[in-house]
Amino acid sequence: MRSKITTVICCLSLLFTVSCGKDNKNSADSEKTLLQSEKQTKLLPPISHVEPSIVNGLVASHCNNDEISYMNAKMHDVIAARSVANTHDTQDIYKVLSICLSQDNTKMFYRYGQLGAIESMSTANNNTPFAYYIRKVNGINETILFFTQHDYRYYIMYSDETDSGVNVKIYHGQQLISELSSGTEAYQDYVVANNIDIPTSLMLNIRPPNAEMQ
């Protein structure tokens, strides 16, 4: 009888030892998994808010890599568009207008034409600056950047208060000889970096000589 009791006690002791061993193993595995999880969590980078940067969108540019892009626009010939019955035919035919600023703020460049084939260009510096004038059009401020080149006067009009795009008029004397216009969708048809401060030495604030521009 005593032998049977001893045998039962031994069996119970053995079962308890195996069970405890399994529990200890499971507990150790769980603790190991938790530590690994915490370690991986610490390795994840913190989530931070990133401010969007100014981009040129879908508008190409004549500005060089070492220059600051102030304005880029896809320009269409308005006069040519008026001469055809369906103006949509001219929408895919455009040239690029770019206003660029040197990194040291000593020069400003106007460039116009197809990419890789500039048709006209002009440079402003401290001795020969461009000019600008702000006028009211239907209660909205419109900026006119203008300059003279070979007896031709270029007027570039745009506004940061409305999506009016970029418009250009070129005069020879008092005669309008060319009129260009971009679309009105920002970052699709034109980009103007209004957050860039242009030195007053490169753009004088004066009234345009052409009465229509005043």
In a domain, 92, yes or no: yes
Q: Which residues pair with 155 in a beta bridge?
A: 146, 169
The share of the chain scoring above pLDDT 90, in percent, equals 50
> Are 103 and 192 part of one and the same domain?
yes
80 located within any domain: yes
25 found inside a domain: yes
2 shares its domain with 30? yes
CA distance linking residue 54 with residue 146, whole number of Å: 25
Work out whether the CA dihedral 90, 92, 93, 94 comes out positive or negative.
positive
pLDDT of res. 138 = 86
Q: Which regions in the chain score pLDDT beneath 70?
A: 1-57, 80-92
- Considering the domain architecture, whether residues 42 and 71 belong to the same structural domain is answered as no
Give the whole-angstrom CA distance, residue 123 versus residue 102.
Answer: 11
Is residue 68 within 8 Å of residue 101, measured between CB atoms? yes
> Is there a single domain that holds both residue 124 and residue 21?
no
Residue positions counted in the chain: 214
Q: Is residue 20 domain-resident?
A: yes
What's the pLDDT at 94?
86
Nearest to 171 by CA among 208, 134, 207: 208
CB 97 within 8 A of CB 180: yes
Q: What is the per-residue pLDDT for 139?
A: 86
Question: For residues 144 and 152, is the Cβ–Cβ distance under 8 A?
Answer: no
Please give the distance of CA 167 from its chain centroid, rounded to a whole number: 20
Q: Which two tokens stand for residue 125?
A: 């510096």
SS3 state of residue 81: helix
| Helices within the chain (DSSP H only) | 2-43, 78-82
Residue 58 lies in a domain: no
Residues 105 and 174 in one domain: yes
What is the token pair recorded at 57? Answer: 């969108």
- Phi first, then psi: give them for residue 134, nearest 5 degrees: -110, 125
Whether residues 38 and 74 share a domain: the answer is: no
Looking at the structure, do residues 40 and 74 belong to the same domain, yes or no? no
* Structural contact between residues 74 and 182, judged by C-beta atoms closer than 8 angstroms: yes
Same domain, 93 and 193: yes
Q: Tell me what pLDDT residue 163 has.
A: 84
Asked whether residue 40 falls in the same domain as residue 97, the answer is no
Range of the structural domain that residue 205 is part of: 67-213
Residue 56 inside a domain? The answer is no
Q: How many domains does the chain have?
A: 2
DSSP annotation of 52 reads P
**Is 187 in the same domain as 115?**
yes
Task: Answer yes or no: do 44 and 71 share one domain.
Answer: no
Distance CA 12, CA 18 (A): 10
**Assigned domain for 126 exists:** yes
- Looking at the structure, do residues 122 and 160 belong to the same domain, yes or no? yes
Mean pLDDT over all residues of the chain?
A: 76
